[in-house]
A and B are shown apart, each in its own frame.
Chain A
Amino acid sequence: MMYAILCYHEEDVVCSWSQEQDDAVMAKLAVVQERLVKAGKMGASLRLLPTTAATTLRKTQEPPLVIDGPFAETKEQLLGFYLVDADDLDGALAIARDLAAANPGGAYEIRPVGMFFPDQRTADRKTGT
């Protein structure tokens, strides 16, 4: 089963980290990621730019409305995500716990992935689009 591990944290706090603090977190996370890569469980991992760079397309009207800023104003923001392959929720939680140990604060939302089309997407689904 594929799980998305969505990383939520207060953007203010993360943006207040010095370069050294940020590098230290990234280095610790890299150790966890490396382990997952070796085990063949690691899919994409992304770090998002700050929500101030975000634009939202609201579909509630026609044509959809384009708004500056993130979709939801929340205390903690979606700052990135991992795609991992785990046997079950316990497996995904174990990975999230390892990540959490390397990167304190905030929260991880573990979401099972319904559809995932890696590289062959365009080849396999050409007719579908």
Chain B
Amino acid sequence: MTTPALTDPDWISGTLTAARPQAVAALLRYFRDLDTAEEAFQEACLRALRAWPVNGPPRDPAAWLILVGRNAALDGVRKRARHDPLPPDDQLSDLDDAEAPLAERLDNSHYRDDVLRLLFICCHPELPATQQIALALRIVSGLTVKEIARAFLVSEAAMEQRITRAKGRIARADVPFEAPGPVERAERLGTVAAMVYLVFNEGYSAGGEPSRAGLCDDAIRLGRLLLRLFPTEPEIMGLVALMLLQHARATARFDGDGRAILLDRQDRSKWDRERIAEGLALIDKAMRHRRPGAYQIQAAVAGLHARARTPEETDWMQIDALYAALEFLQPSPVITLNRAVAVSKVKGAEAALAMIEPLTPQLSGYFHFFGARGAFLLELGRHQEARIAFDRAIALANTPAEAEHIRAQLDLIQSRA
């Protein structure tokens, strides 16, 4: 029987994607320059596509790619003399002897630091969030500039420029190449986590649009990578859990026409049970550490929704309590607004309305504020005021789906009038 597919370009591409963070990160350590590292990796990938179908896949693809990439780049810059000589790469595929010690070294000493450094560089504090996201998607996840541009609804040229600018800033910023110390590591881990969640939200808030929805998967992949590097960090568990639980609802969030379906009207049989199981398992693990954080609490809220088989089974009391904890930890009008939704279920719309009233000045430009306010007023039968709130919401809607949802609420008032 012929063994299929290991030489199939599709499967090779999967292996290349998986090896990418480690390989690019190691190449960055050699060359200390993002462009060179990226080009070296791309060259290695091209050679892999030529060599692997003939020689069979190497035992350790990442090690192979690093060796070949380094070789290729060194050829290019003619700096051979300053480094150890390397074997020609057409011999590498069956060079188990050469690969094994290299792989060993990579695994044991450098892997974690290399990948961390790469992630930290993408989240360099001097870069604005949009550039951090673009850079991480390009360098770590390996999305093409075209794909990223499409996801962010900008032209390819504009995205190219954004990424080039980010690289330039990093080059000028004199990034330290030593492994960061524990304190700095902890500080920057928070930044990396935030970047990963930004990537996720870019995909999540895009609605059903496929070119952006893929960003959720990329963010989850980045999150898992982070979790493998920091397997005992409860907030990273919380982050990955949160993304999995939210993404589990992806196929239920929109109807055939792309209109948003609210949580309590979603077909729960469409929720992805495997993602939910993984998310809940991660929350369970995280809770044992007794070091609550914002991601964990939000994940716990999403977990309570996921556990409820029907909207009526939702444990709103717990959700209210969790949002109260989140408010304490990270006070923000948006969190209070979210809590108000739980309060409306537990204590009624009157209480919820009283709770959000003081937020009016801060949230006067926020779609969800007027959406929630309108819903509370509608529940109380105050139709005229609800209509005003919904009108404001429509004016502030970020997507056609959001506007569409509010319009449905207005129709509801119309029909009741």
A122 an interface residue at 8 Å Cβ cutoff? no
CA distance A66 to B11 in the complex (A): 36
Decide if B274 touches A105 in the complex (CB within 8 Å): no
Binds B, one of A11-19, A31-39, A80-88, A108-116: A11-19
| Nearest chain A CB to B407 CB, angstrom units | 32
Which residues of chain B from 4 to 20 have any CB-CB distance to chain A below 8 Å in the complex?
4-6, 8, 10-11, 14-15, 17-19
Contact of A49 among B5, B6, B278 (CB under 8 A): B278
Contact of B18 among A16, A50, A68, A69 (CB under 8 A): A16
Q: Mark B276-320, 1 if CB is under 8 A from A, else 0.
A: 011001100100100000000000000000000000000000000
Chain B residues near A15 (CB-CB < 8 A): 18, 221, 224
B60 an interface residue at 8 Å Cβ cutoff? yes
CA distance A16 to B288 in the complex (A): 29
Find the B residue at minimum CB distance from A105. Answer: B6
CA distance A16 to B237 in the complex (A): 19
Decide if B288 touches A66 in the complex (CB within 8 Å): yes
A21 an interface residue at 8 Å Cβ cutoff? yes
Q: Mark B14-44, 1 if CB is under 8 A from A, else 0.
A: 1101110000000000000000000000000
Decide if B224 touches A21 in the complex (CB within 8 Å): no
Chain B residues near A50 (CB-CB < 8 A): 224, 278
Contact of A49 with B10 at beta-carbon distance under 8 Å, contacts A15-B221, A101-B4 already known? no
A104 an interface residue at 8 Å Cβ cutoff? yes
Contact of A105 with B17 at beta-carbon distance under 8 Å, contacts A16-B221, A52-B228, A53-B278 already known? no
A97 an interface residue at 8 Å Cβ cutoff? yes
Contact of B6 among A16, A55, A75, A104 (CB under 8 A): A104
B231 an interface residue at 8 Å Cβ cutoff? yes
B232 an interface residue at 8 Å Cβ cutoff? yes
Contact of A104 with B278 at beta-carbon distance under 8 Å, contacts A12-B19, A16-B18, A17-B14 already known? no
Q: Mark B255-292, 1 if CB is under 8 A from A, else 0.
A: 00000000000000000001001100110010010000
CB-based A-B contact count at 8 angstroms:
62
Contact of B60 among A21, A52, A75, A97 (CB under 8 A): A75
B415 an interface residue at 8 Å Cβ cutoff? no
CA distance A126 to B17 in the complex (A): 50
| Nearest chain B CB to A5 CB, angstrom units | 17
Chain A residues near B285 (CB-CB < 8 A): 53, 55, 68
Decide if B231 touches A69 in the complex (CB within 8 Å): yes
Find the A residue at minimum CB distance from B227. Answer: A52
Contact of A104 with B3 at beta-carbon distance under 8 Å, contacts A53-B278, A53-B281, A53-B282 already known? yes
| Number of residues on chain B facing chain A (CB within 8 A) | 32
| Nearest chain A CB to B293 CB, angstrom units | 15
B343 an interface residue at 8 Å Cβ cutoff? no
B1 an interface residue at 8 Å Cβ cutoff? yes
Contact of B14 among A21, A51, A68 (CB under 8 A): A21
B240 an interface residue at 8 Å Cβ cutoff? yes
CA distance A118 to B3 in the complex (A): 34
Contact of A21 with B10 at beta-carbon distance under 8 Å, contacts A15-B221, A53-B282 already known? yes
CA distance A75 to B8 in the complex (A): 22
CA distance A10 to B231 in the complex (A): 17
Contact of B15 among A13, A51, A55, A75 (CB under 8 A): A13
Q: Mark B188-203, 1 if CB is under 8 A from A, else 0.
A: 0000000000000000
Chain B residues near A16 (CB-CB < 8 A): 14-15, 17-18, 221
Find the B residue at minimum CB distance from A25. Answer: B5
CA distance A15 to B14 in the complex (A): 9
Find the B residue at minimum CB distance from A55. Answer: B285
CA distance A21 to B19 in the complex (A): 17
Find the B residue at minimum CB distance from A56. Answer: B231
Find the A residue at minimum CB distance from B278. Answer: A49
CA distance A55 to B19 in the complex (A): 25
Q: Mark A63-76, 1 if CB is under 8 A from B, else 0.
A: 00011110000010
Chain A residues near B288 (CB-CB < 8 A): 66
CA distance A67 to B221 in the complex (A): 22
A100 an interface residue at 8 Å Cβ cutoff? yes
Contact of B3 among A17, A55, A101 (CB under 8 A): A101
Chain B residues near A101 (CB-CB < 8 A): 1, 3-4
Residue contacts A-B, CB under 8 angstroms, 8 given:
A16-B14, A16-B15, A52-B224, A53-B278, A68-B285, A104-B5, A104-B6, A104-B11
Beyond the given A16-B14, A16-B17, A55-B285, could you list 18 further A-B residue pairs with CB under 8 A, ordered by the A residue number?
A12-B18, A16-B18, A17-B14, A49-B274, A49-B278, A49-B281, A50-B278, A51-B228, A52-B231, A53-B285, A68-B285, A69-B231, A75-B103, A75-B107, A104-B4, A104-B5, A105-B6, A105-B11
For the complex of A and B, 7 pairs with smallest distance between CB atoms: A12-B18, A69-B231, A104-B5, A53-B281, A16-B17, A13-B18, A16-B18
